[in-house]
Structures are given as structure tokens and as C-alpha cells.
Amino acid sequence: MEISVTDSSTRAPDLAHLSQLTTEQQNPASADIDMLDTEGMLRVINDEDARIAAAVRAEIPAIARAVDAIVSRIEQGGRLIYIGAGTSGRLGVLDASECPPTFNTPPDLVVGVIAGGDHALRHPVEAVEDQEESGATALDELHVSDRDAVVGIAASGRTPFVLGAVARARELGAVTIGISNTENSRLSAAVDIPITPVAGPEILSGSTRMKAGTAQKLVLNMLSTGAMIRLGKTYGNLMVDMQSTNAKLRRRAVGIVQRVTGIDEVSAAEALKAAGGDVKTAIVMNRLAVSRDAAQERLASARGRLRIALGETA
């Protein structure tokens, strides 16, 4: 789910010591990148990209705390809300928009808020990030409560729109998580759980869409995927809660039923049809030899967790 936010009120951005931020430093490894041949240029980019995974790995303890906090809020009926501006906002909206087709989540369970709204997904409207009050307003419009988890995303860790949002989220009792890419940022100090993958200066000074953006995408992948695994949206590494909305996905669903039950393709397709297209229901019906209603009741009592419905774990 993507939320549009626009507001005419502004607060002057904090530009003091901007040049000292990691994301604003000049990278010595790419200082002469414009003088290299194409392969040499790409190797420099790839070498710098290799640093990103290690930076994210160092943050796994914090990411794990964030995943557990998100799961706790969702189990209480809350939501996962991403909020950012520019590249960071686009990445949050992207991750939110991929959850319904991937994990069959309601469209309002994972929400992406970008400063400037849908237009900002395709066009540069970066000035709106200076509107701290708009960030707070966005949370008010979503009726955020203590059941929600709010993730602020800002490479510099000082984007007013994001800082305004997480400040309001804390006032409203939500658990707050911050993803930034520079040490000791304002965002890290303002949230309950700071996540700070610092992979060094960018390839091209003046933009954080490459290394910082990639690090943010990796963390967002972990947050949403980790939460969905903990919520029982998978069985092993199989996406048993996917939506079979086209021919490719229907074939994939049949394949998943085959893998879990051991039946042939024709039987798996028939089981899936009998289950109304629901992969989990088809698996429970086949494995336990029960009716569709009985299978759905077992899944409901197991809160959708297939292993528990099958009696494989307590």
C-alpha cells in the first residue's frame, strides 16, 4: 500500500556539517572512474558493492530485534509502515507493494509512505523531504497506534520528513525503527531500534541511490521476509501463502503442493482446485485426508502456520 503525502509547510533542513557524513564523502576508490575503460569502471563499482553485504551483516542483531518487534505488532493487529523521501521512500513503497502478491497479505498490512506521493515515485520532487510537519501529518492520517511498527528510512539519517514521522510515531506509542547509512545519525538517536549499515562513501558523490540504496533494499528485504517467515507465511523455503493470480503462479502453486505432499502434478492440480486455489488448504487436505472445511479450521486454529496445522511442531 502506498500513501501520498504533500504539504506546503516547511522546516529548514539541518545542513550543518553535511559534508562530514559518510554518505557525502568522496570515495578515493572511484576518484578517477571517468578515466577508466568500461570494464575497469564496472569493476570499481562491483568492488564497492561487495562491501554492502558485510555492512548489512554487521547489523543483523539489530535487524533481528526489528523483525521480532514487527511480528509482535502484526500479531496484535498492527501494521508495518515504511516512511521515507526520494530513493529511500521509493524503496519502502517497493517493498510494501511486493508483500500482497508474495505473501498474500492484505494491502493495508504493509504500508509505504513517500514524501510527495505517487508522483515522487517517477519524478524528482526532493524538496518535499524538508517538510518535517508533513512526516508527522502522514502518521496522523494513517491513524498510527501502539500496535504499529514504523520504519523511517533516510541515508543521511537527518531527513526532516522522516524525523518528523518517527517523532510522531513515538508520541503515538508505535515501535520505531530507523534505517540510515551514516554513523551516529539523528534518526538512529530518535528511534527504538536503529539499523545502520555503513558501507562507506558512494561511488558518485552527491547521490545515495547506489551503495546506501542497495544496503537499504537488503535490510528491507530482511525485515519483510523475516517477519513473514515468523508469521507462518512459508513452509521451509516454499511460499505457501502466495497468490495464484496468473498462469505462471498457478503452475508454481501446483509445484509447491507436489513438493510438500509428494503427489503427482495432476493430483496436485486437483487438490488445489478442491481447496479453492489455496495452497495451504490443499496441503492440509491431502496430508491429513480431511475435508476443505476441516483443513481451514486447522489452519485457523494454527493462526495460518502450516507446520502447526500439520502437527509437525507445537
How confident is the prediction for the chain on average, in pLDDT?
A: 89
Supply the pLDDT for residue 128.
66
Task: Show the cell assigned to 115.
Answer: 514524501
Q: Does the structure show a pLDDT above 90 at 118?
A: no
CATH topology of domain 2-230: Rossmann fold (3.40.50)
State mean pLDDT over 270-287. Answer: 95
Instruction: Say how far apart CA 211 and CA 55 lie, in whole Å.
Output: 10
CA-CA-CA-CA dihedral for 186, 114, 20, 196, to nearest 10: 60
C-alpha 74: how far from chain center: 14
Lowest mean pLDDT among 7-11, 102-106, 133-137: 7-11
Residue 179's beta-bridge partner residues?
153, 195
> What are the Cα distances from residue 80, in Å, to 37, 43, 56, 257?
44, 37, 20, 29
pLDDT 10s digits, 204-258: 877 778 899 999 999 999 999 999 999 999 999 999 998 777 888 889 999 999 9
8 secondary structure, DSSP code: S
3-state secondary structure 109-136: CEEEEEECCHHHHCCCCHHHHHCHHHHH
Catalytic residue among 24, 98, 126, 297: 98
Give the pLDDT band of residue 9 (cuts 50, 70, 90): very low
Output the CATH code of domain 247-309.
1.10.8.1080
Rounded to whole angstroms, how far apart are CA atoms 128 and 118? 13
**Higher pLDDT pick, 17 / 180:** 180
**pLDDT tens sequence across 25-69:** 767 777 888 899 999 999 999 999 999 999 999 999 999 999 999
296 has a pLDDT exceeding 80: yes
The pLDDT score that the predictor gives to residue 205 is 79
Q: How far apart are CA 115 and CA 95, in angstroms?
A: 16
In the annotation, is 297 catalytic?
no
Answer whether residue 19 shows pLDDT above 90.
Answer: no
Q: Which of 48, 129, 132, 202 is catalytic?
A: 129
Q: What number of other Cβ atoms are within 10 A of residue 37's Cβ?
A: 8
Give the whole-angstrom CA distance, residue 205 versus residue 136: 30
> CA 272 to CA 295: how far, in whole Å?
13
According to the model, what pLDDT value does residue 4 have? 44
Q: In terms of Cα–Cα distance, which of 55, 64, 67, 95 is closest to 182?
A: 55
Whole-angstrom distance, CA of residue 57 vs CA of residue 51: 10
194 SS3 class:
strand
Q: What is the mean pLDDT of residues 286-296?
A: 97
Q: What is the pLDDT of residues 156-207, one digit of tens each?
A: 999 999 999 999 999 999 999 999 999 999 999 999 999 999 988 888 877 7
Residue 189 to residue 193: CA distance in whole angstroms: 9
Residue 48 is a catalytic residue = no
**Domain layout of the chain by residue ranges:** 2-230, 247-309
| pLDDT value of residue 203 | 83
